[in-house]
Amino acid sequence: MADVSAQQVMALRKKTGAGIVACKKALIEFEGDEEKAIEHLRVKGLASADKKSSRAADEGIVYSYIHTGDRLGVMIELRCETDFVARTDDFRQLAKDLSMQVAAMHPVAIDETGFAEEVIEAERRVYTEQALESGKPQNIAEKIVEGKLKKFMKERALLDQTYIKNQPEEKNRTVREYLQQNISKLGENIQVARFARFELGSE
């Protein structure tokens, strides 16, 4: 059995948001290998979050974030199951983190189902013209357009974006995965209901 220190446990807890007991068990199971312990806890956390995703989230907060310089602001409605969780520091921190993501990365939808049809069609027209002007045959152009549309939706859907505050060992973690880790940590279903981004001088 690996000799696991309190410092190792707390470091893992800070990185994953998992409970102290779960962190200690993971470190012992993987003989102190932090990377394997993180992967194990993330898998368990995502599985736990999936089970909670069907539960009603009727409580929550509307959080406002103003970026330094007062030229950019975000409002986000973040929902959970109980008022108790909505008032916790962890929930408010999550709302702030998501607001900062919106401020920095300018998503236009929560997920791929939230894009307005006119937005998709406008992008499709641009990509089609680009492909045809480059001399691509129609069938090849269509494939290029679909590929670019998928890339656009991934980059501009909040939950599919790469989370901006990832540590080096978490470089590929998405906002959806970060949200699911918080669902596992707080023990309730949490949903981004809507958001708005305001930038001085833009419409």
Residues 65 and 100 placed together within one structural domain of the fold: yes
Per-residue pLDDT of the chain (203 residues; tens, 9 = 90+): 567 888 888 888 777 666 677 788 888 888 888 888 887 777 666 545 555 556 667 899 999 999 999 999 999 999 999 999 999 999 999 999 999 999 999 999 999 889 989 989 999 999 988 888 888 888 888 889 999 999 999 999 999 999 999 988 778 899 999 998 898 888 888 999 999 999 998 76
Residues 35 and 17 placed together within one structural domain of the fold: yes
Residues 46 and 10 placed together within one structural domain of the fold: yes
Residues 171 and 133 placed together within one structural domain of the fold: no
Rg from Cα positions in the chain: 20
- Judge whether 57 and 80 are in contact, CB under 8 Å: yes
Residues 170 and 185 placed together within one structural domain of the fold: yes
Residues 187 and 107 placed together within one structural domain of the fold: yes
Residues 74 and 168 placed together within one structural domain of the fold: yes
pLDDT at 17: 63
Residue appearing with tokens 């696991």: 4
Domains in the chain: how many in total? 3
Instruction: Flag whether 21 is in a domain.
Output: yes
Q: Which of 64, 80, 63, 61 is nearest to 72 (CA)?
A: 64
Within 10 angstroms of residue 60's Cβ, the number of other Cβ atoms is: 23
- Tell me the two tokens of residue 119: 């937005």
Residues 92 and 67 placed together within one structural domain of the fold: yes
pLDDT at 52: 57
Instruction: Flag whether 32 is in a domain.
Output: yes
Q: What is the dihedral of CA 132, 134, 136, 138, to 10 degrees?
A: 0
Instruction: Flag whether 84 is in a domain.
Output: yes
Q: Which domain holds residue 151?
A: 116-155
